[in-house]
Amino acid sequence: MVSSDHRIDIFIGSPSDVQKERDVFFDVLVELNSDPLVPYTLHGVGWDRGLYQQDTWVSPQKAIDSGLLSPEQCDVAIFILWGRIGTPLPKNEYPEIECGRTFTGTEWEFNSAMVSREKNGVPLVLTFRCDRKVEFDAEGDDPIQFSEQIGGLRGFFDRLNSEEGRHERNVLMYSSVESYRTQLKQQLQIFVRDFKGKRIDRALTHGKDRQPNRVPVYIGNDDWDERLRVYNDWLLRKSAELVQLPEDSEDSEEAASAQLPQVYVPALVPSEKKSDLSDRRFDNSDAHDKALERLGVASLYLAGAPGGGESTFCQWVSYVVARGEVPANVDDLQGYAETLPESLMGTSCD
């Protein structure tokens, strides 16, 4: 589970006609999260990927508002528009944006993000607009609805860019999904690079301190010491994470706050005969050695059934080597407290 101190929440809002672009958004997050030089975990927030209660009693937008992080609660809010502006929201629940028409879901989310940006300084708002021609499908499109969507879309950008408009901002234009992908990835990379200091403003929205332990910095092409430090920091963070349980699991809430050092139990292997280091046979006694210490003197092969702890031990090795020590708060279980072998030291970047 990723601590909120190391997570960037990114909201995505759009009507339903840009599904490919929405899929690309989540693909780009996967790419960036696999980059060891990205010092945060990017978390996408969208109605098509999030889990929330879809109660029949409330409108779809109300369910989204209640169940997911809102745009103003995120670090970045991304909006994508092409040939639709979306469906107007219920008049008894949402205000009118113009005479006789309420906000659509996308307009409501966009307005929430922009008001928050003006008031609190967050989120960063990125608006993408596809400039491909929107074709009318005589067989599938209702002419009145088609006209309303085009007109609503035109009105949205007229209000955004007019002299009287409250929010005059840049709009990122694209013609193909690939050009959108390129621009999106570049914008997110820039945001991550320049993210330092913005958590102070972010706390105004969340009502709690979310400042990171280490502020990310831009890494020059030749700054190998800095690259190594950032990679070490990323490795330490990643290896401390536990596999997240399904949200409907009884233990999911408890697991969400736990990390590897809180649950790890020292791995043991059968004692090796010390009289002859060239003889790798194991005795039949009940004595055991700590696997971490054995790894300090020789290569180690662990075999066992699934669930036996082999992968967890490998994760633990990554964690303590990146940290440069075994955490002091790990309990001494029956005399099996671990220490990091000297042969595995020297790779930390402190």
What is the model's pLDDT at position 332? 56
Provide the CATH number for the domain formed by 4-206 in this structure.
3.40.50
d(CA 100, CA 83): 22
Confirm if 120 and 109 have CB atoms less than 8 A apart.
no
**What 8-state DSSP symbol labels residue 111?**
H
Residue of 202, 251, 204, 289 whose CA lies nearest to 7: 202
Instruction: Determine how many CB atoms are found less than 10 A away from the CB of residue 116.
Output: 21
Residue with tokens 């280091």: 277
What is the model's pLDDT at position 29? 95
**What is the dihedral sign for C-alpha 232, 233, 234, 236?**
positive
Residue of 5, 10, 36 whose CA lies nearest to 187: 10
The SS3 call for residue 199 is helix
Record the tokens describing residue 299, joined without a space.
């290569």
Mean pLDDT for back-to-back runs of 10 residues, the chain (350 residues): 68 96 96 90 90 81 84 95 93 77 90 90 94 88 90 88 59 96 96 67 40 32 54 70 51 53 76 52 59 84 79 84 75 70 66
The count of residues in the chain is 350
Residue with tokens 């332990």: 213
What is the model's pLDDT at position 240? 72
Contacts of 327 (CB under 8 A, 6+ apart): 261, 320
Q: Chain-centre distance of CA 60, in angstroms?
A: 24
Task: Name the residue ranges covered by the structural domains of the chain.
Answer: 4-206, 239-344
d(CA 135, CA 83): 9
What is the model's pLDDT at position 129? 97
Confirm if 269 and 280 have CB atoms less than 8 A apart.
no
